[in-house]
Structure 1
Amino acid sequence: MTHTEKVVDMIKWLLHKSDLTYYRIHKDTGIPKNTLARLQKGESEIHNIPLATALKLEKYYLEEMGKMEKVTFEGIEYTLTQEAYLTGTHGNPYYEASGIDADGNEVTVTWEIKDHWLDKDGILNGLLEDESEACDWDNPMSVECI
């Protein structure tokens, strides 16, 4: 993947997959709201924006990624793009969150719930009072490409 393709993917993620509004991006970068709105709506092509705008958006993307939680699985670092949440069946609960790798590939990261939160049948034994203790957050059980 070329650097240009990576920057295009970064901009697409900012405008379409992040929780950031174009108004927030405008406030943080100074890029005109109407420019961002046209890009977000597909009325303007990312390939046609000025280089200075693309560089600002690349820098902003990298700053935003730097603020997000990171996790390593099998030697690869992933940036979480959402908070982990409890899911799975009643008898097989686990946590998962969306993330991306260094190339911008989207992934789902999953964590196993610690045994002391489960009864003998593997069912969650009540409500977790402190989710920071629910899993070994530094060691996910799997990462799958979406």
Structure 2
Amino acid sequence: MSSEQEQESIRCLVAKVGLDGHDRGAHVIARAFRDAGFEVIYSGLHKAPEEIVQATVQEDVDVLGISILSGAHDTLVPKIMDGLEEYGAKEDTLVLAGGVIPDEDRAELEAQGVSAIFGPGTSIEETIEFVRENAPER
């Protein structure tokens, strides 16, 4: 399989968790991922952690991108990580978080299994390159 075919086979779920209604960034990253050749599924707004876990497992995604701006990342992201672990999907899924996440909260999210956190001002190219380099091979 060529490198280009491998990139095209990366399946991503871009998810909005909780009551956060700000979805412009999620739409921008979903489109950028699609334009980069990734398969993209968008969760829609106001999803519970359990719904995101179910979609991750059912859609067999390689990458879960959690977009969160509500400030509830310290509560909602751990619930997602626990759910992924319960289904045995935590090790096979590259989990990313994007949004306004304070520096002091990043280490805890990373300790729970979030591979990278992309804040405001992160270039789309940087995010795409990270996914290409770190998405699990299936």
Larger proportion of helix: 2
Using the size of structure 2 for normalisation, the TM-score is 0.23
Higher relative contact order (CA 8 A, sep 6+): 2
TM-score by length of 1: 0.22
Q: Which has the larger radius of gyration?
A: 1
